[in-house]
């Protein structure tokens, strides 16, 4: 099993935190694409910048976690302030609560305090304060030898008392995790082993004088490329790139054609994958900015060509040695993650789009925009390299040393990587050791999945939070103060038994006693199933009423989410007992279908006086009394009790489904 497949196995069948890295061109992007297509886990993909998020087909970190634009200090006071300021809607909370796998792309640019913020939010939302990231598996993808996090001087003055450095691996949570560190080692971009070795030396701060001399042999200060050579200049700053592209455009002469993007719904400018207005001339050097979405697959992100034909509505590009390409519009989508009420499915929802011809002028681009691309010929202008890893990114974009031209010689100082990065990368385990750990990690994950369906702590936390929320709603009329306490008491009893049962499960899984495990799971059903049904019935008989529609909706959705979680646990307990494996768990989970309870919370009825005789009847009904029992308790006729209850039915305070079959017959008589 190679590094690629091993990483995939760890993501699919374990809950271990994984740092997936690799040199430029080793397939990190391909790995993520496959994961999104095949992984059964409820996942979200995030990135530190808008453009990186669009490229990863995910969202920004700040968008998913609703983070304020400020520093986060890892202190109890700062966490408390964060939670108090967080304006997170129920939909967003539902997404985070259902999240099983969080993928952070371009993690080299994620600062240590930001990773700790993500950790704090997930622990809070999932009611798992003692579990890193609230129990969510985290896969971080990136190359530490490329672009690094930005920490302005004034920010670092505040952070340095808490962190040893700005890198993600210096976050407090990452130090608790003992992550699996997997490096993809097969370089697809470069095939010349001498050049590969030079790039490795640059990464590891081991560049020899001979290798530096070989690099600087490509120094050609007066280099001028021919029109058909397709060289692209990689420079450090936008102003340099824009000046080169504008100069070359002006030199072409002829008519300028302008093409504007079509932007629909929500697509902020900070996330634009290219300029809103594309200006081209015949003969302009261009680069495709997106893979061809058509069946022909004629172009890919980073492919270079020359504009060979233009009209107001058509663009044709000719690439070296190929037939002309009629360029069609491509669309980039801005998404958000959603999870429907009562569901644990997390899925992307398109909220905006950006449609344009996928081209940009390409006499020159910034080194930053070149990250992830591959070229045959590059001209590197790195005289003003300002960020660690910039020179390495530029060098590693090219397939061969012979394809590189340096406009300035590279000093050895520009090729020095941060000491803490090298120290961290030196901690990497041998691939054989990681492979040996896999069976144990798989068993541990099965334990996590099985124990989760007998763990009611999160549900108790959610019930308590919902109880507090309902108390703050002035519109809510609670006709039974012990509604939530009753549910919590039932869950507490289940938790006490569940904790003991979880210990048995751990032992049986570790000992690989599959048959005995199956027996114990089946034996648990007679105890848990009826008690879970009792909890579901209690939730269904909700006494809460509100004449405020938004309050009522919020309460109803939260209750249905809790109801769904409990119903799902009951279902999984029954199904997983047949096939107690990771695959069996996911198959069962995917087959669950919720039958929503009929909850009536919103009402426009007139207020009932607290001393009303009808209200006393309603209180007894909510306490579980049947119609004959209410009549006997209150010394009333059955006809009077029926009259009281029918008035509440007419005003949607209660629903006919809340009555037992025998009581329904009395009402219909």
Q: What is the pLDDT of residues 199-215, one digit of tens each?
A: 888 877 788 889 889 99
Q: Over the chain, what is the mean pLDDT?
A: 87
Place of tokens 């998020």: 53
Q: Average of pLDDT values for 464-490?
A: 83
- Alpha carbons 184 and 28: distance in angstroms, whole number: 8
pLDDT tens digits for range 421-469: 878 887 777 888 999 999 999 999 999 999 999 999 999 999 998 988 8
- Furthest CA-CA distance within the chain: 106
Q: Which helix (H) or strand (E) holds 184?
A: strand 180-184
Let me know: does 546 contact 487? Beta carbons within 8 Å. Answer: no
558-to-51, 91, 124, 348, 463 alpha-carbon distances in Å = 34, 10, 17, 21, 9
For the chain, the distance separating the N- and C-terminal CA atoms, rounded to the nearest angstrom, is 72
Let me know: does 61 contact 47? Beta carbons within 8 Å. Answer: yes
- Alpha carbons 311 and 1: distance in angstroms, whole number: 52
CB-CB neighbours of 75 under 10 Å: 10
Place of tokens 């763990």: 455
- Of the two residues 236 and 20, the one the predictor is more confident about is 20
Residue 381 makes CB contacts below 8 A (sequence gap 6+) with 233, 234, 235, 236, 240, 407, 408
Phi, psi of 327 (to 5 degrees): -80, 130
- Alpha carbons 536 and 530: distance in angstroms, whole number: 10
Give residue 100's region: left, alpha or beta (phi > 0; psi -120 to 50). Answer: alpha
Let me know: does 402 contact 377? Beta carbons within 8 Å. Answer: no
pLDDT tens digits for range 79-90: 888 888 777 888
In this model, does residue 351 exceed pLDDT 90?
yes
- Of the chain, the percentage scoring pLDDT greater than 90 comes to 47
- Alpha carbons 118 and 490: distance in angstroms, whole number: 32
- Alpha carbons 386 and 454: distance in angstroms, whole number: 53
Residue 219 makes CB contacts below 8 A (sequence gap 6+) with 406, 407, 408, 409
Residue 374 makes CB contacts below 8 A (sequence gap 6+) with 25, 189, 302, 397, 398, 399
- Alpha carbons 192 and 210: distance in angstroms, whole number: 17
In this model, does residue 261 exceed pLDDT 70?
yes
Place of tokens 């100082």: 413
pLDDT of residue 608: 47
Number of H helices, E strands in the chain: 25, 22
pLDDT of residue 386: 52
- Alpha carbons 356 and 280: distance in angstroms, whole number: 13
- Alpha carbons 301 and 290: distance in angstroms, whole number: 4
pLDDT of residue 188: 55
- Alpha carbons 476 and 548: distance in angstroms, whole number: 8
- Alpha carbons 527 and 215: distance in angstroms, whole number: 72
pLDDT of residue 10: 95
In terms of Cβ atoms closer than 10 Å to its own Cβ (0-12, 13-18, 19+), residue 400 is middle
Reported as a pLDDT band with limits 50, 70 and 90, residue 512 is confident
In this model, does residue 299 exceed pLDDT 60?
yes
Most confident of 352-356, 389-393, 591-595, 616-620: 352-356
- Alpha carbons 211 and 312: distance in angstroms, whole number: 50
217-to-98, 206, 403, 408 alpha-carbon distances in Å = 55, 19, 12, 11
- Of the two residues 272 and 68, the one the predictor is more confident about is 272
Let me know: does 333 contact 319? Beta carbons within 8 Å. Answer: no
CA angle (627, 630, 636) in 5-degree steps: 105
Residue 140 bridge partners (DSSP): 19, 104
Q: Which helix (H) or strand (E) holds 613?
A: helix 613-622
pLDDT tens digits for range 357-406: 999 999 999 888 887 778 888 999 877 765 557 788 888 888 889 989 99
Q: Whose CA is closest to 517, among 593, 585, 590, 436?
A: 585
pLDDT of residue 40: 92
Q: Average of pLDDT values for 503-527?
A: 92
Phi, psi of 406 (to 5 degrees): -105, 125
pTM (two decimals): 0.80
pLDDT tens digits for range 170-202: 999 998 888 999 988 765 555 577 888 888 888
Reported as a pLDDT band with limits 50, 70 and 90, residue 341 is confident
In this model, does residue 323 exceed pLDDT 50?
yes
Let me know: does 638 contact 665? Beta carbons within 8 Å. Answer: no
Most confident of 184-198, 328-342, 654-668: 328-342
Q: Cα 425 to the chain's mean position, in Å? A: 25
pLDDT tens digits for range 36-86: 999 999 999 999 988 888 888 899 999 999 887 778 888 888 888 888 877
Q: Average of pLDDT values for 540-562?
A: 89
């Amino acid at each position: 099993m190679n590094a690629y497949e091993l990483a995939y196995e760890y993501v699919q069948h374990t809950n271990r935190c994984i740092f997936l890295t690799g040199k430029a061109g080793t397939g990190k992007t391909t790995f993520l694409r496959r994961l999104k297509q095949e992984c059964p886990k409820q996942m979200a993909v995030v990135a530190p910048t808008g453009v990186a998020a669009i490229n990863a087909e995910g969202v920004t970190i700040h968008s998913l976690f609703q983070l304020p634009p400020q520093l986060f200090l890892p202190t109890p006071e700062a966490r408390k302030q964060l939670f108090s300021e967080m304006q997170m809607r129920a939909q967003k909370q539902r997404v985070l609560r259902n999240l099983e796998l969080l993928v952070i792309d371009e993690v080299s640019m994620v600062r240590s305090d930001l990773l700790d913020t993500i950790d704090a939010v997930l622990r809070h939302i999932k009611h798992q304060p003692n579990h890193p990231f609230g129990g969510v598996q985290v896969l971080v993808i990136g190359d530490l030898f490329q672009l690094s996090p930005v920490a302005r001087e004034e920010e670092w003055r505040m952070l340095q008392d808490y962190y040893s450095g700005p890198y993600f691996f210096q976050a407090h949570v990452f130090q608790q995790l003992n992550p699996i560190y997997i490096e993809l080692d097969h370089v697809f971009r470069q095939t010349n082993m001498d050049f590969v070795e030079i790039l490795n030396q640059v990464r590891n701060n081991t560049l020899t004088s001979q290798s530096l001399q070989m690099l600087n042999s490509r120094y050609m200060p007066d280099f001028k490329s021919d029109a058909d050579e397709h060289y692209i200049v990689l420079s450090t700053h936008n102003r340099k790139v824009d000046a080169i592209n504008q100069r070359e455009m002006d030199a072409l002469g002829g008519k300028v054609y302008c093409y504007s993007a079509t932007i629909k719904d929500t697509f902020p400018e900070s996330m634009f994958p290219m300029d809103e207005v594309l200006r081209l001339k015949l003969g302009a050097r261009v680069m495709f900015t997106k893979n061809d979405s058509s069946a022909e697959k004629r172009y890919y992100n980073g492919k270079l060509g020359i504009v060979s034909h233009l009209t107001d509505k058509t663009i044709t590009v000719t690439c070296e040695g190929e037939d002309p390409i009629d360029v069609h519009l491509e669309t980039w989508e801005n998404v958000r993650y959603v999870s429907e009420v009562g569901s644990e499915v997390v899925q992307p929802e398109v909220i905006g789009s950006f449609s344009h011809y996928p081209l940009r002028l390409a006499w020159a681009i910034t080194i930053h925009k070149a990250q992830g691309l591959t070229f045959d010929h590059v001209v590197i202008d790195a005289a003003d390299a300002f960020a660690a890893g910039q020179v390495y990114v530029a060098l590693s974009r090219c397939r061969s040393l012979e394809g590189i031209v340096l406009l300035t010689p590279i000093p050895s100082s520009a090729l020095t990587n941060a000491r803490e990065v090298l120290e961290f990368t030196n901690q990497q385990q041998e691939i054989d050791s990681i492979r040996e750990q896999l069976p144990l990690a798989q068993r541990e994950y099965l334990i996590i999945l099985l124990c989760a369906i007998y763990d009611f702590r999160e549900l108790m936390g959610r019930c308590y939070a919902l109880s507090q929320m309902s108390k703050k709603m002035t519109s809510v009329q609670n006709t039974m103060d012990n509604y939530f306490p009753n549910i919590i008491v039932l869950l507490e009893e289940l938790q006490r038994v569940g904790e003991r049962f979880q210990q048995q499960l751990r032992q049986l899984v570790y000992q690989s006693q599959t048959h005995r495990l199956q027996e114990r799971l089946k034996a648990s059903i007679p105890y848990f199933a009826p008690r879970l049904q009792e909890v579901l019935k209690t939730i269904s008989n909700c006494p809460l009423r509100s004449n405020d529609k938004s309050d009522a909706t919020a309460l109803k959705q939260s209750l249905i989410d809790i109801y769904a979680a409990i119903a799902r646990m009951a279902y999984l307990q029954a199904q997983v007992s047949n096939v107690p494996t990771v695959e069996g768990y996911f198959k069962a989970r995917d087959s669950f279908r919720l039958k929503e309870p009929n909850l009536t919370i919103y009402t426009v009825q007139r207020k009932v006086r607290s001393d009303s005789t009808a209200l006393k009847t309603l209180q007894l009904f909510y306490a579980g009394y049947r119609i004959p029992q209410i009549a006997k308790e209150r010394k009333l006729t059955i006809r009077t009790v029926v009259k009281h209850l029918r008035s509440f039915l007419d005003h949607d305070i209660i629903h006919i489904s809340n009555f037992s079959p025998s009581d329904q017959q009395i009402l219909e008589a």
